[in-house]
Amino acid sequence: MLPRIQQVIGRAVHVPGNDIDTDRIIPARFMKCVTFEGLGAYAFYDVRFQQDGNPRPHPMNAPERAGASILISGMNFGCGSSREHAPQALHRHGFRAVVAGSFAEIFFGNCTTLAIPCVTLAEADLAKLAAAVDADPSLEVTVDVEAREVRHGAQVFPAGIPTTAHDALVNGRWDPIGELLEGSSQVESTAASLPYMACP
Amino acid sequence: MGKSLFEKVWEAHTVRRLSNGQTQLLIGTHLIHEVTSPQAFGMLRDLGLGVKFPHRTFATVDHIVPTDQRQEPFSDPLADGMIKELRRNARDFGITYFDLSSGRQGIVHVVGPEQGITQPGSTIACGDSHTATHGAFGAIAFGIGTTQVRDILATQTMALSKLKVRRIEVTGSLRPGVYAKDVILHLIKKLGANGGIGYAYEYGGEVFDRMSMEERMTVCNMSIEGGARCGYVNPDEKTYAYLKGRPYSPEGAAWDEAVARWKSFASDPDCAYDDHVIFRAEEIAPSVTWGISPDQGVFIGETIPHFEGLDAAAAASLQEALDYMKLSPGTPVKGIPVDVCFIGSCTNGRLSDFREVAARIRGTKVAPGVKAIAVPGSQIVDVLCRNEGIDRIFTEAGWEWREAGCSMCLAMNPDKLVGDQLCASSSNRNFKGRQGSPTGRTILMSPVMVAAAAIEGKVADAREVFDLATS
């Protein structure tokens, strides 16, 4: 049994912007690797660091945000390339949940299979949460996957997550490989019904 | 009530329902490359799993290959390690691999169709978001992450939620000098970079019916830039004519049976769609982007938009794009100086793309100070171009003619922008840093528009430069 992902509780960092793509989350040159190890250091690299390696002003570089485990962003987060290197880099950087206005689908699926819940908030709620996080680096935020809520203090925001991902996370079935393998004989009969599966 | 192609293909490939409500979907054809597969093979080894149907996975090397000097070992040791790893994995697991020495290497989305591996009514997946390209053949083709590459290697299936279907029709006739790339850039601008979330896009109507297979590939390729995970065109006689006689196409009696089966997958005339949008072809002009998202685009005669009246977050996003691009509202896009011109990629790196440009640039010269590179999408595209003398037309006009690969679309090989160079590019993404320099700038456009920019040294209207409006 995999861990059940019911809640993620931690401090947060707000990376503002819509349409933040996976090239920005992990620039392509850092994908010249045959494992995912070490990618955490390169999360958002080109917007966090100058070409000489010196840091730029960026929310993730603020010392008081070190150790934040919840990432907050805007609409269509994770669009573009299907690279799993992006959620791998975020996870290895320490993020355990992402809260945004909406998510690109491939990124969303990649995160779910890595046990990183991606939940959406309504625009006004997202703005309120982002403002609260921006104002207080020590603010403890709860991403309650099971209850479909994001909370801080007395503030409670209803959060969106599709039932399939919700159930996979809270029931500890976010990595589907075991269940896919169990279907092996049915896979063979489906394949046998499709002539092209016998080729070449 | 009839069914759409998407529904028919989905049903034919459904293995069973999973406990979380997703579908275990058979993926008939799996394509892999060197960037997103090595970790998947690593996971297989860690789990002690094999590849269930090794004959249904096909590999090639495209992202990291140099396009000038291809002698191994590559000068970049990381890239060299990646090609060696792919070779080892293909050998260890018995997977067909189109290596550099095969004569069939190229961008995975160019290789699949030209080998006849991409077929109507099939499901296709690849660890690459531009897998939607294969939808041009009436396949349902998904871009996936590496963990799903592992799932498909081990089980030939993946867990997926069913998509809705949006039919996108373009009626009428495209005006002279307007290409497939202009159509898809216009659709993305109109529907938004996130407009397709939750949808498969079905492209239909007169304009797509009239398009060649390569033009349909250009359109389907950029479905993902519109947020749609897959896009497709229903198969027709052009589809079958394209596939006939290709290495992996059925032959003899099996060919006739296959065509009959392929036809049966086409959307029924009375099928219902979850959404339906219609555009007029006559409204579409040559299109370019000006920002850092593919939906930030205008027609060539237009200016960069002002954004007064937008809400604060939207205005901030546009300001960020303009700051990055070093452009300002009200500036005409025509006349923006360019440093580099790139024709290639899985969007626009096929024979018809180079042929169309070659027909225009004979006797022209690339503007002084502009670097212009042409990168065929595959070794076969390269040979076909050379057979027609297209490579010489390019080189005589001042272009560099390179060897096959992804090249400057995402710059994982040595082809990169330097500093804040601005590139007129036939590729698919204008994201920050996409072309290899963290401050490099990209303007997306059709190959013929890239050629016009190369000659003028600035973004130009190809209809004027090449007198296309009257041709």
pLDDT tens digits, residue range B257-290?
A: 999 999 999 999 999 999 999 999 999 999 999 9
Q: Is B216 in the same domain as B295?
A: no
Which one of A74, A82, A167 has the shortest CB-CB distance to B129?
A82
Residue B312, pLDDT above cutoff 90? no
Within-domain flag for B279 = no
Q: Is B254 in the same domain as B296?
A: no
pLDDT tens digits, residue range B6-50?
A: 999 999 999 999 999 999 999 999 999 999 999 999 999 999 999
Give contacts of B 318-377 with A, CB under 8 A.
320
Averaged confidence pLDDT in chain B = 97
CB contact under 8 A, B145 and A184: no
Q: Percentage of residues in chain B with pLDDT exceeding 90?
A: 96
Within-domain flag for B220 = yes
Which chain A residues are closer than 8 Å to B127 by Cβ?
82, 84
Q: Is B361 in the same domain as B218?
A: no
Contact of B75 with chain A, judged by CB distance below 8 Å, is answered with no
Question: What CA–CA distance (Å, rounded) separates B63 from B127?
Answer: 12
Question: What CA–CA distance (Å, rounded) separates B58 from B37?
Answer: 12
Within-domain flag for A182 = no
Q: What is the pLDDT of residue B317?
A: 86
CB contact under 8 A, A24 and B431: yes
Q: Is B307 in the same domain as B364?
A: yes
Q: Is B110 in the same domain as B230?
A: yes
CB contact under 8 A, B151 and A177: yes
Within-domain flag for B60 = yes
pLDDT tens digits, residue range B362-383?
A: 999 999 999 999 999 999 999 9
Tally of domains within chain B: 2
Res. B88 pLDDT band, cuts 50 70 90:
very high
Contact of B68 with chain A, judged by CB distance below 8 Å, is answered with no
Q: Percentage of residues in chain B with pLDDT exceeding 70?
A: 100
Cα A105 to chain center, whole Å? 11
Cα distance from N-terminal residue to C-terminal residue, chain A: 38
Which chain A residues are closer than 8 Å to B433 by Cβ?
23-24, 27, 46
Tally of domains within chain A: 1
Q: Which domain holds residue A63?
A: 7-173
Contact of A192 with chain B, judged by CB distance below 8 Å, is answered with no
Taking alpha carbons only, the member of A104, A113, A110 closest to residue A180 is A113
Which chain B residues are closer than 8 Å to A19 by Cβ?
193-194, 292-293, 317
Within-domain flag for B420 = yes
The type of residue at B62 is D
Say which CATH number the domain at A31 has: 3.20.19.10
Q: Is B212 in the same domain as B330?
A: no
Within-domain flag for B269 = no
How many beta-carbon pairs under 8 angstroms link A with B? Answer: 223
Contact of A121 with chain B, judged by CB distance below 8 Å, is answered with no
Mean pLDDT in residue range B401-429: 98
Q: Is B291 in the same domain as B244?
A: no
CB contact under 8 A, A190 and B431: no
Within-domain flag for A150 = yes
- Which residues neighbour B277 within 8 Å (Cβ) at sequence distance 6 or greater? B166, B167, B168, B169, B191
CB contact under 8 A, B26 and A75: no
Residue whose structure tokens are 């100070």: B369
A95/chain B closest Cα distance in angstroms: 18
CB contact under 8 A, A23 and B410: yes
Say which CATH number the domain at B235 has: 3.30.499.10
Q: Is B104 in the same domain as B176?
A: yes
Residue B460, pLDDT above cutoff 90? yes
Q: Would you list the DSSP string of A51-91?
A: TTSPBPS-GGG-GGGTT--EEE--TTBTBS---THHHHHHH
Question: What CA–CA distance (Å, rounded) separates B194 from B176?
Answer: 30
| Minimum Cα–Cα distance from A123: chain B residue | B313
Within-domain flag for B271 = no
- Chosen from B194, B415, B417, B427 to mutate, greatest number of chain A CBs within 10 A: B194
Q: Which domain holds residue B435?
A: 287-470
Within-domain flag for A181 = no
Q: What is the pLDDT of residue B1?
A: 87
Within-domain flag for B277 = no
Which one of A76, A184, A195 has the shortest CB-CB distance to B227?
A76
| Minimum Cα–Cα distance from B42: chain A residue | A35
Within-domain flag for A130 = yes
CB contact under 8 A, B78 and A181: no
Q: How many Cβ atoms from other residues are within 10 Å of residue A150's Cβ?
A: 27
Q: What is the pLDDT of residue B224?
A: 97
Within-domain flag for B275 = no
Q: How many Cβ atoms from other residues are within 10 Å of residue A138's Cβ?
A: 6
Contact of B22 with chain A, judged by CB distance below 8 Å, is answered with yes
pLDDT tens digits, residue range B316-342?
A: 889 999 999 999 999 999 999 999 999
Which chain B residues are closer than 8 Å to A75 by Cβ?
194
CB contact under 8 A, B24 and A183: yes
Res. B307 pLDDT band, cuts 50 70 90:
confident
Q: Are strands A149-152 and A140-144 parallel, antiparallel or unpaired?
A: antiparallel
DSSP assignment letter at B39: H
Q: Is B251 in the same domain as B331?
A: no
Which one of B26, B39, B436 has the shortest CB-CB distance to A34?
B39
Residue B471, pLDDT above cutoff 60? no
Within-domain flag for A200 = no
Q: What is the pLDDT of residue B33?
A: 98
DSSP, collapsed to helix, strand or coil, labels residue B64 as coil
CB contact under 8 A, A27 and B438: yes
Q: Is B308 in the same domain as B260?
A: no
Which one of B38, B145, B292 has the shortest CB-CB distance to A110?
B145
Question: What CA–CA distance (Å, rounded) separates B319 from B296?
Answer: 12
B398-425 b/e with 16+ CB inside 10 Å = b? bbebbbbbbbbbbbbbbbbbeeebbbbb
Residue B470, pLDDT above cutoff 80? no
Residue whose structure tokens are 């330097």: B418
Residues in chain A with pLDDT values less than 70:
none
Res. B469 pLDDT band, cuts 50 70 90:
confident
CB contact under 8 A, A187 and B38: no
Q: Is B243 in the same domain as B355?
A: no
Contact of B157 with chain A, judged by CB distance below 8 Å, is answered with yes
